[in-house]
Structure 1
Amino acid sequence: MQKKKWLIPVFASFMLFSGIGAMNAEAASVEELTSTAKQYLKAPYRYGGTSITSGIDCSAYTQYIFSKFGISLPRSSSEQFNVGTSVAKSDLQAGDLVFFNTNGRSISHVGIYIGDGKFISATTDGGVAIDSINDPYYWGSKYVGAKRVADFTAEEVEEAKAEVAKAEVKSVSVDFSIYTSRGEVALILAETLGLDTSDTNSPFVDVKPSDKYAGAVNALYKKGIFIGDEQKKFNPGSPMTRGELSLVLVNAFGLTQSGEAVEFKDVPTTHWAHDFVSILASNDITQGIGDGKYGIDDLVSKEQLSEFIEKLTEN
C-alpha cells in the first residue's frame, strides 16, 4: 500500500484571560461543546468527585467539559462565578455557565446553558442531567446568575487559529499498511458490536453515503461512540492515537473501572484520557507499551487494534 502524507495538528489550548472578560474559543465550538456535554448524560455524581466514570460533582463536570476545548476553569462553583463576564438571563447563549444557590448561603451549583431555557449539570440525585433554569419546583428559585467565560463567536478566533496552525502543525508520514485509520476503526467496531449499518446517511460532511464505511460511521454516531470534530467532520482517512482509542473503546463496550485505578508514566491524572486508559487497564484490556507507559500519543497500529478487540470480545 502506498504511503500517504497527512498534516496532523498538535492542538494548542486557547488560554483564558484570568478573572475578567470572556475568552476566545474555537469558532463554531459551541455546538461541539453542548454535544460533548450531552455525551456524559447520566454520569454518576459524587461530592468532591472529579471522575466522569466513578463520580463527579457539578464544578468538576463544567471544568472537565471546558478543558476539552482548551479552556481552564477554577475548581469550585464559587470560583467559577468569579471569572468571565456577567450575562443577563434574557441574553443567555449556549455555552454560558449558569449558577445557583442550593444551600441557602452562597453559590453552590453550576451548569452549562445549552439553549431553550435548558442547562446541563452534574446533579446529586440523577448524575449528569438536563434541567430547566426556570423549573418552578426547584431550579427557578435557586437561579443566581450567569457568566460568559468563552466567546465562541469572536472575530479574532480565525486569526488565532491560523497562527496556532502555522506554528504547531507538523507533517508526518503515516503508513496505513501499518497504522489504522478512523474509517477502518469504525468498520471493525460496527462489525464487532453487530450494529445495523444499513443507514448510510451520516451527519458528517466528509462521509458520503457511497463510502464503504458510511453505514458503520453512522451507526457508531447514533450510539454516541463517535461525535466528530467542530467542523462536523469525521476525518475517516486520519490516523487515531491510543489515547483517542481508549475513549472510543470504553464507550463502545460500556466498560467501567474494575478495582484500583491503573497509572502509567505518560498519562497523568490531569490528562483528559486518564480515566479511559485506567478503565482499559483495570479490565486487563491493555498493559501499555512497556516501561510503565501506555503510549498515549502513539498512533494505533492494525496489530494493536486487533489485540484490543480480541481482548474485549474475550471478556
Structure 2
Amino acid sequence: MLILISKKTTKKMILLIAVALMAFVPFIANTHAAKASQNNDQSEKLIQVGKKELGKPYRWGATGPHSFDCSGFTKFVYKHSISKNLPRTAQAQYNNSKKVSSNDLQKGDLVYFGSSKHSISHVGMYIGHGKMIDAQNRGVVTEKVHAPWWHLVSCSRPANLNH
C-alpha cells in the first residue's frame, strides 16, 4: 500500500515535530544544569570540610575529629559533607568504589597509593590542579598527587560527582 503525502503536508509534519522537540530541549538542558550544579556543590562541600581539617595531627587508626589517619580523614570528610559513608580502610575504600581514570579526576575524587591494587596503603582526596588533601605523618596537609614518594595506583569516585 502506497501512501502519497503532499509537500505541504510533509512540511507541516516536519514543522510540528520540530516544535515538539524544541519544547523538550529547555527541560532537558535545565535538568542537566541542575544536576551539574548539585554535583559541583557536593564537590565544593567535600573540599570545604576537608580544608577545615588542615593542620590536624596524624594518628594511626584515628577517624577524627581531633586527629586522623588517611582513610579516617576521607571517611570523615565524606560523612560530614555529603552524608556518604565510606569503608574504614584505604584498601576497603578502593575495593568498594567506582574507578575513574587519572585523566578524568574531578574535585572530591579519591586517589589511592601503594604497590598494587591489592596493596593500597594510602588514600587522599583530589582538590583540583594536581593537588590533594590527605592525612599523613605531617598531619592533614595539601600536597601534589604526583610526587616521588607516592606511587599512584588508582582513582575513584565514591559519589556521583560528575560535572
1:50/1:102 Cα in 2 relative to 1: closer, same or farther (>3 Å)?
Answer: farther
Query: What does residue 229 of structure 1 align with?
Result: none
**Partner residue in 2 for 1:122:** 135
TM value normalised by structure 2: 0.70
Return the offset for 1:152.
2.5
- Candidates 96, 101, 109, aligned match of 1:96: 109
Instruction: In structure 2, give the amino acid aligned to 1:128.
Output: V
RMSD: 2.0
Within the candidate set 131, 135, 145, 2:143 is matched to: 131
For structure 2, the residue ranges without an aligned partner over 5 or more in a row are 1-37
**Structure 2 SS opposite 1:131:** strand
C-alpha separation in 2, matches of 1:87 and 1:97: 9
Contact kept, 8 Å, 2:132 with 2:142, in 1: the verdict is: yes
More helix by share: 2
Match of 2:76 among 58, 64, 68: 64
Structure 1 runs of 4+ with >4 Å offset = none
2:126 corresponds to: 113
Partners of 1:27 and 1:114 in 2: how far apart?
Answer: 12
Distance 1:86 1:26 in 2: 17
Q: Which has the higher contact order (CA 8 A, sep 6+)?
A: 2
Given that 1:121 and 1:130 are in contact with CA atoms closer than 8 Å, whether structure 2 keeps it comes out as yes
The correspondence for 2:58, drawn from 45, 48, 60, is 45
Residues 1:150 and 2:163 are matched in the alignment: no
CA offset at residue 123 of structure 1? 0.6
Is residue 88 of structure 2 the alignment partner of residue 86 of structure 1? Answer: no
Corresponding residue number in structure 2 for 1:177: none
What displacement does 1:36 show? 1.4
Q: Structure 1: which amino acid aligns with 2:111?
A: V
Normalization by structure 1: what TM-score? 0.37
**Structure with max Cα Rg:** 2
Structure that is richer in strand per residue: 2
Could you tell me which runs of 5 or more consecutive residues in structure 1 were left unpaired when the two chains were aligned: 1-24, 155-315
C-alpha displacement at 1:102, in angstroms? 6.8
Paired residues for 1:228-247 under 5 Å: none
1:185-224 → structure 2 map (5 Å cutoff): none
Give the drift of 1:150.
Answer: 0.6
**Secondary structure at 1:149's aligned position in 2?**
coil
CA distance in 2, matches of 1:51, 1:36: 12
Judge conservation of contact 2:115–2:153 (CA < 8 Å) in 1.
Answer: no
